[in-house]
Every structure is written in C-alpha cells, then in structure tokens.
Structure 1
Amino acid sequence: MLIQPVVLSGGSGTRLWPLSREKYPKQLLTFLGEDSLLQATLRRLEGLSGLRMAPDLVVCNDEYRFVVAEQLRLIGRQGRIVLEPVGRNTAPALTLAALAAQSQGDDPVLLVMPADHVVTDVAAFQAGVQHAARLAQDGCIVTFGITPDRPETGYGYIQAGAAVDAEGSRSIARFVEKPDRATAERYLQEGNYFWNSGLFVLRASVWLNALRLCRPDILQACEAAWAGGAADMSFQRVDAEAFAACPSDSIDYAVMERLAGGQAVAGMPQGVVLPLSAGWSDVGAWDALWQILPKDEDGNVARGRVMLQGCTDTLAMSSGRLLACVGVKGLVVVETPDAVLVADQRHTQDVKQIVERLRREGSAEGLLHRKVYRPWGWYDGVDAGERFQVKRIMVKPGGTLSLQMHHHRAEHWIVVRGTARVTKGEEVFLLTENQSTYIPVGVTHRLENPGRLDLEMVEVQSGSYLGEDDIVRLGDVYGR
C-alpha cells in the first residue's frame, strides 16, 4: 500500500498574533522543541512501519514558498511543493494534492494533515494511521475524532454512529459546529462525540469521485488550474486565473458532512470516524498553546527573557526584550520587536479581531514581522524615520539577490561579517568585514555571498520613497 503524505499549509493563524503573521503564519513557527509546526508534522511520520511512503507533498501559499522549501531542506525531507496563488480553503487544496498524487500514475492513500497541529504521542498517532490506511484502501473516507478530555467550546465535534469494525472505528452520524459550554459538557458526558481533528485518510480517486458528486464546480476549476500549471524549480505552479475562479470551501462542508447519517449523497463512499487519543491540539489560540506547554508549579509558561513575580496561570513569551510580569493571573503576554499583546486567556479567540483592524488600517504589523525572510536569507528593519531606514541583512552562503535598481532611494552597505560580491553598474568587486560601498539612485546593483559563512551587513537607505515596491528587478535567479 502506497501512502502519500499531504500537508496543507495554507492557514494564517490570526489568533496567534503577534507571533503569527499573514505572510509568516503559525505553521512556520517553533513552539515545542526545535522544529516548527510544519517540520514536526512531517517528522511524526518517521519510523512509521508496514507502509510504503511516497515523498512528501506540501500545498502552501505562493507567498511563503521559499521558507517552506528551506524548512523541509533543514530536516532532510524530499518532496513536492504545490503552490496556491490565492487561498481557497481546504477542499480545493486537497483537490490539487489528489491531482498531483495521481499525476505520478498511482492512486495512493492520502494521509492529509494540517501543518499547524501538535501531536505529543507519536506512537498512538502512527498506530491510528495504520488502522485508517486499511479502511481507506477499502474505499472509506476516514477522519480522526479526538477523544475529548474537557468540555471544549473552541472545536467542532463529530457524533459517532454504529461500529464499522472490531478495532474501534465508527460510522459518522453528524458533524456539529462549535457548541456552547452546556452543550459541550453534555457531549463529554454522552461519550460518543469527538473533536473534529481536520485529519483525513482516503484514496486520491475516492476524494475526486466524491467531489464530482458533491462539488463538481470545485473539481472542474481545480482540474483546469492543474492542467494549466507548470513546474518552477522545486515548485509546482497552477494556472492562477483558473484557480482564482474556484469556489472557496472546506473539506467538511464540501464533502464530509454529506457522508453523515441521513444527509448521505447517493453513490458516496462510507464516512468513518476513528477515535484518537494522541495528545492532539490544533494550537488555534494562545490559551490552547498554554494548555500543551510545560508549566511551573504555579501554572506559568515563560519563554525567552521573562521574569515572573507572584504570577499564576500566565503565558509570557519574549522575542528579545526583557518581559516582567508582576501579580497577574490567567494572562497572555507576548512580545515581538514590533508589537506586544496582553490578553485575558478567556478572550484569546478575540485576538483575530485585532488582526482584522490592522488589515483595515493597512498596518504592516498584521502582515509581516520586522524580520522578513527571503530565499537568499533575511532582512530586519532596525530603524526608520523621515527619508531614511536602517536594515540588518543576512545572505546565506551562495545566496544571490536580484539584479535591481531603485528610482527613489540610495543605499549604503557596510559589511560586518563574511564576504560580499557587489555588482554596481559596470563594476564587480568584493567587500570584506568593515568595508563599505555606496549605491546611488538609479544605479543597477546586485549583492551576492560567494563565501562559506553567512554574510551579515548593515544597509542604510535614504531618499524620498523607501517602500519595497521601489525595486525594479532586471534579473532574478528565484523567478520573482
């Protein structure tokens, strides 16, 4: 049996702002151990026995394709990255993955995993995957139902029906939206309701056939987008115009709810929920993160430069500056270089309202961190004022910025570590530590790192306009 791991990495994680940003979402961040949530999602497949695994397949937004590729490279994972030109929710994303899986001439069982979940009991998860794969091979669409340990109001639920086999799998009776507290407590007592995990196991052809019955408009749009696509380095692009015309819908609404009970559509495969107890969390908000992180004797979680005095049940995270909390209870305090969040844990779901306000106001803090990652490295906006800004720049060994020019700004470059190869007009020369150069307005230029160490620089920009859109790219190895 061939298993195709599919990682859906398109979410924005607005409720984990300010660490999660629209163009650097939560699945790319590190919360537990040294791996990002995306890396941990792939690592939990390591050591899975008895199943033949295809190379990873990741579906992600075009905006952070290079970061995703780098994170896969760092953990030694090989695979394909399918790019969504715009977000259209999980049903179209899974459809692109199914089309990609079948393009190799196989009809594998897809193991569909959101990139932003936590699973602490990997052995239990792998045992569940082995069970689900057998059911999927026989034509079922399987989802994991998380065995609840509290009356959670932040998750949707699945009501389980009759037994499907002797190993614990159940038919799907119905899907239930996020309940109020009293209803969640009743679900917990009744024992046949499970949290909706968003994890699925099914054959590629079974998904495409189910979509043909339930949402042929989504299938047709995705097939047109796939047919008009092409390979781009290690990425698979789809036709942007065709995909933009695709309706937006989730896997649950498009197909899964039509497998349940009396809502079942004629000709559809059987829907199965497989109970799973594996330390699962979707890390949907700050209170969910506090739930899963190790705590001190007073229930506090402290990360980074944090000092707590007389605090209980508090999550405090610092990205750099000293964060001191005194006499607080049940708070979330998160510091980044450009924003600070202070929230009551009971209201962390409302953080997304702040992000919506930032979007409406056009504030950069809703989109990007001060440090912005690029395929060649990163830059960090250290300071800015009228007609100037200062950046720290890191270029990886072998990294090359585009050949470019600016209409409105000049740049001063100072090398503080490593070696830079500089193209300035017709000149090409090297700069080493403590050396500098000046790039006048309108002069073509390129920065490269020909060495084996990271190149670190300070860049001072000055001029009448300093926006990132004042870049005229004349040549770019990354195809931007």
Structure 2
Amino acid sequence: MTQRNNNYCVILAGGKGRRLWPVSRERFPKQFIDFFNVGRTQLQQTFDRFAKFIPQENIFVNTSEDYLELVKEQLPKLADDHIMAEPIHRNTAPSVAWAAHRIVHLNPNANVIIAPSDQSIFNEDIFQRNVEEGLEFVSQHDSLLTMGIRPTRPEPCYGYIQEGESAGMEGIFKVKAFTEKPDGNFAQLFMDSGEWYWNTGMFLSNARYLNECMSLILPVALGCQEVCRGNFSIEEENAFIREKFPSYPNLSIDYGILEKSDNVYVLRCGFGWADLGAWHSIYEAKSRGKGDNVIIDSNAIVENSKNNVIKVPKNRLTVIDGLDGYVVAEHENVLLICRKEASSNLIRKYINEVQIKKGEGFV
C-alpha cells in the first residue's frame, strides 16, 4: 500500500466560470460561491473532501493571482506556499506542469491526484476508495490514470473515454480513445456500447512521471528546474513563474498530454459524479421538483412551466408562467433568460457582447 504521507492533491481553481454567468462573475467565479446554499463554497467542499484522506499539508490549490485573496479567505488553514497563483490565465497544462514540478521537488516519491474545484460527488466513501485505488496503481506504474464514470444519460456536454484492454488490475483499462462533447446521437451510441465513460477531468500519476511528461510539451518549464536545482526555493520558483508564465501555451491537459500519450489508463469509478460547470449540467445533476424544474435557493412561484433551471435572489419574489426548457438566472445587475440546451454557447456570445457594449461591470 502507498504511504499516506506520499499522497498529494492539486485542486485547480483558477477558472473564470463564465458558463454560469451571471451568477458566476469574472471577479467572483463559481468555485468561490456557495451555489446551493449548503454552507460551503465549491472550493471549500472540494478541499474538505480530499482532506478526509490526504494530509492537509499535501493539498495544493492552483489559482489566478486575481483570486489569491479569495483562496486565502476561504481556506485560511492552507499555507501560503501551498497556493500557486498564476500571473495570467492559461489552460490546465501549464498549471499541472507547475504543480508537478513543485511537488516532485518536495517529495520525489509523491503520488498525486489533479482535480477541478467545481464537481459534485454523490458518494464520498466510494470516492475515497476509488482515489486510493488509483494512487496505489500510479505508485507502481509510470502512467497517467483518468477517472471514468459510466454514463447514466447521453450527455453531449461531457467528455468521454473509451476503454481498451485490461491493465491487469481490477477496474483499470488502457485508454483507447478520448472524445470531447459529442453530439447527442454519438453520446447515445457511446452510452449504449458500454465501452465509454464520462471523463471526470480528474487524473492521477506519480509526480516524477508526471513531471517528465509535462517537460516534454512545456520545455520552457525546464528553465524552472534549472533555477531551482540544488537548494529548492519557493521564492525563486515563484519569481520565475511570474516572469515566464505568460509565454506558456494556452493548452489543456487533455489535449496536451492525455490524448497524445500511449501510457494512459482509465479507472472505472462508482462514486456518482456531475460537472457543475454549466447551467445545463446543473439541471441534469440536481433533483427536480414539480414540472421537472430545478429551483436553486430561490423565492419563486412557478406555474405551467417545465424543464427549467431557476436561480434568482431570495430577497425578491419571482413569478414564472409558461416557460419550457429555459434558464432563468439573476445576480446583482444582470438577469439572464435563455434556452437551457443552448445556454453554454449563448452565454459566451452574450458575455462578449455585454463586455463590449455595456462594460466590465456586467461580466
């Protein structure tokens, strides 16, 4: 079994959360919001979940300098050198490269799970068991291990992983293919085949191998290794990142590493999962009331309406009549009403328009 003090976690919390606009705003995105009024934000819930079985001193949070104070405020027990604040927004590959570099220098025997901060986990006991199984596997194999969930519906908003041959351990298979956000027909085929799993965006590796993989696609990161060779200095590393990070490519970990490597596996997981990154996925993940409406912490009267997701301020009464398949979301100075199925694409369009025509105060 892996030693507990060799297990690490990196929580990715630097996104702008635009797909949940207008409730999620650029200055205060979704990971810092108690979206469902449960008493803890998405980031805090993710941290709590991992702190149950990974030493707190082994948990790191990757974020943007814009959100550094929010992370400190919401996770006051997290040491400053465990918050990795990027000077400019990039995709997940540079974030993971930096985290892998730091952790392997702290502990060459480390095993690490990389996880987004905005997911819903339905059974945390099974989640812990699956993660520990994965950490055990990567401690013995130089590989990248994704966490897959068997689809419960043909969801076109998720990524999919196709399993290949067995890795020789129960529930772990070589990855045959990745597909990102297929159309509805393909999503149905994937679900019916039994070979495809939802890509949770979480993956595991031992830190040494992960660091080697990241250095292949981000050679500029090698400069950081040279700066920090010998006596490891957090200050030197932070200074290097502040200077060099803007030159890193805007590259996702899926596209940069997982889809190009021959050494990627998938772990069949049974903990139940939902991505909380978009209005449509929140509708699919949450329990529904009368008319299959999802009403989130709102003071609303809903009549003759169905298949909607509604989140409006509790300090005002909202009356909705005759809507079918819409998002109704209000926060501060913006009210959004749009078709649920097209909400992600429409929101991108309207954020750009609003930013140009109305200014930053509305995004």
Q: How many angstroms does 1:361 deviate by?
A: 3.7
CA distance in 2, matches of 1:338, 1:24: 14
Question: Which of 17, 20, 23 matches 1:19?
Answer: 23
Question: Which of 225, 247, 272 matches 1:279?
Answer: 272
The reply to whether residue 47 of structure 1 matches residue 43 of structure 2 is no
**Larger C-alpha radius of gyration, 1 or 2?**
1
Question: Which of 282, 292, 309 matches 1:289?
Answer: 282
For residues 89-117 of structure 1, the C-alpha deviation after alignment (integer angstroms, 9 at most, x for no partner) is 11110111112213324431111111112
For residues 258-278 of structure 1, the C-alpha deviation after alignment (integer angstroms, 9 at most, x for no partner) is 22xxxx3xxxxx311011232
Q: Look up the match of 1:35.
A: 40
Query: Superposition pairs for residues 27-426 of structure 1, below 5 Å?
Result: 27-32=31-36, 33-48=38-53, 54-73=57-76, 76=77, 80-138=82-140, 139-213=142-216, 215-220=217-222, 223=225, 231=235, 238-259=240-261, 264=262, 270-302=263-295, 303-319=297-313, 320-350=315-345, 351-361=347-357, 363-367=359-363
Residues 11, 116 of structure 2: 8 Å contact kept: yes
Residues 86, 241 of structure 2: 8 Å contact kept: no
- More contact order relative to length (CA 8 Å, sep ≥ 6): 2
Q: How many angstroms does 1:236 deviate by?
A: 5.5
The reply to whether residue 6 of structure 1 matches residue 10 of structure 2 is yes
For residues 390-422 of structure 1, the C-alpha deviation after alignment (integer angstroms, 9 at most, x for no partner) is xxxxxxxxxxxxxxxxxxxxxxxxxxxxxxxxx
Residues 1:69 and 1:44: Cα distance change in structure 2 (over 3 Å) = same
Residues 1:326 and 1:66: Cα distance change in structure 2 (over 3 Å) = same
The amino acid that maps onto 1:135 is F
The amino acid that maps onto 1:113 is A
Identity %: 27
- Extract unaligned runs of 5+ from structure 1: 265-269, 368-480
Query: Superposition pairs for residues 432-471 of structure 1, below 5 Å?
Result: none
Residues 157, 281 of structure 2: 8 Å contact kept: no
CA distance in 2, matches of 1:185, 1:193: 10
CA distance in 1, matches of 2:182, 2:92: 22
Secondary structure at the counterpart of residue 171 of structure 2: coil
Q: How many angstroms does 1:191 deviate by?
A: 0.7
Q: State TM-score, norm by structure 1.
A: 0.68
CA distance in 2, matches of 1:119, 1:226: 37
The amino acid that maps onto 1:6 is V
Residues 101, 107 of structure 1: 8 Å contact kept: no
The amino acid that maps onto 2:303 is Q
- For these two proteins, the number of residue pairs brought into alignment is 351
Q: Which moved more, 1:245-254 or 1:310-319?
A: 310-319
Richer in helix (by share): 2
Q: How many angstroms does 1:231 deviate by?
A: 4.5
For residues 439-476 of structure 1, the C-alpha deviation after alignment (integer angstroms, 9 at most, x for no partner) is xxxxxxxxxxxxxxxxxxxxxxxxxxxxxxxxxxxxxx
Q: How many angstroms does 1:217 deviate by?
A: 2.6
Secondary structure at the counterpart of residue 103 of structure 1: helix
- Extract unaligned runs of 5+ from structure 2: none
Residues 1:108 and 1:318: Cα distance change in structure 2 (over 3 Å) = same
Root-mean-square deviation (Å): 2.5
Residues 94, 251 of structure 2: 8 Å contact kept: yes
The amino acid that maps onto 2:28 is Y
The amino acid that maps onto 1:343 is C
